[in-house]
Amino acid sequence: MPTTDTITDPSDRPGAEKPVERCPECRSPLAVNERFPTWCPSCEWNLLPPEPPAEHLTPRQRRRAEKAERRAEAARRDVRERSEQVFKLVAEDGSDLQDSSTVAAYALAGAVHLVSLSVFLLGIALVTGLLLPAWTNRLLGVVALAVACLLRPRLGRPAREGVLDRATAPTLYALVDRIAEEVGATKVDTIVVDGDWNLSFAVLGLRRRRQLTIGLPLWTVLAPQQRVSVLAHELGRCVNGDNRRGLWTGSATAALVEWCRLTAPKRTRLGTGSSGLMMLIADSVANHVLWVVNRAAYGLALVMNRLSLRSGQAAEYRADRLSVRLTSVADTRGALTSSLHWPTFETVVLRQRTLPRRRADGGQSAHPDLWQSLAEAVRTVPPMETERRLRVAARQGDAVDGSHPPTHLRLRMLTATAPEQHRHPVVLDSGRAALIEAELAELRRRVAGKLV
């Protein structure tokens, strides 16, 4: 707990005394806000408030948890170091980092596709009797085809829920089209709205549908120009040469993730007796085989991630530069900083869930709107807490898989390389912002209903 001292605050009248909490480590004065943890910006005391010890664990479980935590910390350190390297390379010469690891990522993706194709061709050869004409082999062929179907490259599937069509949201589509034009991207096919703290863009399915997903919580806390900045970043992904999202490597990575999921060993409980025992042995053998495949797929997915980290993070920096070109350094910085406030979003949702449900028809006023509460809660996060969240993200890595550069590095890159614009090519004025809000109103109600 912070210690309480009594010192003279120079801003007060001479002689007036006021208790000031001081850091127990370095004795610096602390700013206290009861909504948030008290921490020390000088020595980072209590930057991450300690978690309560897990008492229900057996010694063995505890050792295992500690080992897992050490491994996770080593992985975080590795990503941090690599992210710092990419930052240096990009900040120095802004190179596009299409290096040997990118070539290796393409090759690995090729190997993954080759495995799927081989199993598929084997299945065809067996089923058609081309290889061996016995009926048992045809049966094996059917199994091989089923496996090939599971191994197939994954192209993703466009969301069907929360879709906004052009007729319902003409202003939003006009804004997104304008931004796409400015960054040199093709128009999106659909805009989807959901309840995530995120905005994302993806090209999905066999028909390669271009889908933009707007997470209403994050959208709500962004100022209009910050919204333009985030949209420019997302749409900029189509033009920034990010090979992770391309058809070839993207579908291979998604396939690897799917292989991991499919082969995750499951524990089954079976009955006793001799048949139960046989099943148990068969189950155990199958689980061991699956475990080997699972580890192999997991290992390959990790390698893919490592190979793509450099070019992927460099692409994210380029997308940030596009954001600045369409808005300003201040807007892009503001949007990035706002994205740190998801803990506040979680708190607001939890609080709203505990509020009694009042209905307007019951004569009582409806409880405060989720979106208003969220905007207000984020608006009143003090700078000291924003700074703490930024430092926590820097220490823990807010994108542990390295898919994005950590936020503190993205902010630093904005200051290091992006020229301040004095002209705003895309301005979302208050009139159009209000029209877009009206277009989103119905989905806002639906998403809030699901969240709370």
Where on the chain is the footprint of Zn ion (CB under 5 A)?
Answer: 23, 25-26, 28, 40, 42-43, 45
Q: Which is nearer to Zn ion, 43 or 393 (CB)?
A: 43
Q: Which is nearer to Zn ion, 23 or 108 (CB)?
A: 23
Shortest CB 28 distance to Zn ion, Å: 5
Task: Taking the CA atoms of 294, 295, 300 and 302 in sequence, report the sign of the dihedral they define.
Answer: positive
Shortest CB 33 distance to Zn ion, Å: 17
Shortest CB 2 distance to Zn ion, Å: 10
**Which residues, in sequence order, are CB contacts of 438 under 8 Å at separation 6+?**
none
Beta partners for residue 199, in sequence order: 214
Cα-to-chain-centroid distance, residue 329: 22
Q: Which is nearer to Zn ion, 43 or 349 (CB)?
A: 43
- CA 339 – CA 219 distance, rounded (Å): 10
Q: Which residue has the tokens 């208003």?
A: 372
Q: Which is nearer to Zn ion, 49 or 110 (CB)?
A: 49
The answer to whether the beta carbons of residues 416 and 409 sit under 8 Å apart is no
Q: Which is nearer to Zn ion, 23 or 300 (CB)?
A: 23
Shortest CB 148 distance to Zn ion, Å: 60
Q: Which is nearer to Zn ion, 23 or 340 (CB)?
A: 23
Shortest CB 27 distance to Zn ion, Å: 7
Cα-to-chain-centroid distance, residue 375: 21
Shortest CB 406 distance to Zn ion, Å: 23
Shortest CB 394 distance to Zn ion, Å: 17
Q: Which is nearer to Zn ion, 194 or 385 (CB)?
A: 385
Beta partners for residue 146, in sequence order: none
- Number of other residues whose CB lies within 10 A of the CB of residue 217: 26
- CA 312 – CA 102 distance, rounded (Å): 9
Q: Which is nearer to Zn ion, 22 or 412 (CB)?
A: 22
Half-sphere exposure of 214 (CA within 13 A, CB side): 27
Shortest CB 25 distance to Zn ion, Å: 4
Shortest CB 3 distance to Zn ion, Å: 11
Q: Which is nearer to Zn ion, 368 or 382 (CB)?
A: 382
Shortest CB 31 distance to Zn ion, Å: 12
Q: Which is nearer to Zn ion, 23 or 105 (CB)?
A: 23
The answer to whether the beta carbons of residues 201 and 314 sit under 8 Å apart is no
